[in-house]
């Protein structure tokens, strides 16, 4: 599954399965699909930590994946991408 194919119109919560130097692998427990987010600052799929300490994915904005991310963590994908 590609990042842009993640459900639009509703917020989704993904679980980090694997994280290495090249990519972060996320799992959607609702759809049972796996999403691989490249750690390329020129490609979409920026994952950052918000003010509440939650990991949030902006599926439209290019950027890096925060180094604090670890397997088992939950990542929220906001439908608007900028929350």
pLDDT tens for each residue of 34-56:
988 888 888 888 899 999 989 99
20 in any annotated domain: yes
pLDDT, tens digit, 9 for 90 and up, residues 6-43? 555 456 889 999 999 999 999 999 889 898 888 888 88
Instruction: Name the least confident of 3-7, 37-41, 75-79.
Output: 3-7
Question: Cα(75)–Cα(60) distance, rounded to whole angstroms?
Answer: 15
82 in any annotated domain: no
Contact call for residues 17 and 73 (beta carbons, < 8 A):
no
Question: Cα(48)–Cα(69) distance, rounded to whole angstroms?
Answer: 9
54 in any annotated domain: yes
Number of domains in the chain: 1
Question: Cα(57)–Cα(75) distance, rounded to whole angstroms?
Answer: 6
Question: What CATH number corresponds to the domain at position 18?
Answer: 2.40.50
83 in any annotated domain: no
pTM over 0.85: no
Structural domain of residue 43, as residue ranges?
A: 3-77
């Amino acid at each position: 599954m590609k990042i842009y194919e993640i459900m639009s119109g509703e917020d989704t919560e993904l679980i980090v399965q694997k994280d290495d130097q090249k990519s972060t692998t996320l799992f959607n427990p609702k759809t049972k699909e796996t999403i691989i987010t490249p750690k390329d600052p020129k490609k979409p799929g920026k994952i950052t930590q918000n003010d509440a300490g939650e990991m949030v994915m902006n599926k439209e904005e290019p950027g890096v994946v925060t180094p604090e991310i670890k397997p088992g963590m939950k990542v929220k994908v906001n439908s608007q991408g900028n929350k």
